C-alpha cells in the first residue's frame, strides 16, 4: 500500500527555498507571487505558458457531457467549460520516475 504523503504548503515551500538560496522569506515570497501572477497573466493572454524545465500550462476547452449526481444518482448534463491543464516536462518526469 502506498504511503500517504502530506503536500507541501506555500509557507513550507517558501521557508525551504529561503534556506536553500540564502534569500529572505519575504524576498522568496515576493518572487513566488510574481511568478504565479506572470503564469496566470500570460496563460490567459496567450492560451498557454511554458515554464522551461517545469512544464506547460494551457487553456483547454472541455465538451459538454452527461454525468451523474452523486447524491441522487440521477443523470445530469455537465456544461462545456474551459479549464487550465498542466503538463509536466519530460526532464522532471524522468527525474521523478527514475530509480
pLDDT by residue (tens digit) across 26-81? Answer: 999 999 999 999 999 999 999 999 999 999 999 999 999 999 999 999 999 999 99
Average pLDDT rounded to a whole number, residues 90-98: 92
How far apart CA 88 and CA 19 sit, in angstroms, is 25
Higher pLDDT, 20 or 2: 20
In three-state secondary structure terms, 83 is: strand
- The set of cell numbers assigned to 62 is 472541455
pLDDT of residue 77: 95
Confidence label for 5 from pLDDT (cuts 50, 70 and 90): confident
Q: Which helix (H) or strand (E) holds 33?
A: helix 25-46
Confidence label for 2 from pLDDT (cuts 50, 70 and 90): low
pLDDT of residue 1: 59
Amino acid at each position: 500500500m502506498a504511503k500517504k504523503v502530506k503536500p507541501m504548503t506555500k509557507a513550507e515551500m517558501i521557508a525551504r527555498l529561503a534556506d536553500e538560496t540564502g534569500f529572505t522569506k519575504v524576498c522568496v515570497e515576493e518572487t513566488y507571487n510574481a511568478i504565479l501572477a506572470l503564469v496566470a497573466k500570460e496563460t490567459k493572454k496567450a492560451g498557454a505558458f511554458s515554464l522551461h524545465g517545469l512544464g506547460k500550462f494551457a487553456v483547454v476547452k472541455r465538451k459538454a457531457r452527461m454525468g451523474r449526481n452523486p447524491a441522487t444518482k440521477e443523470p445530469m448534463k455537465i456544461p462545456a467549460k474551459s479549464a487550465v491543464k498542466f503538463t509536466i516536462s519530460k526532464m522532471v518526469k524522468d527525474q521523478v520516475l527514475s530509480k
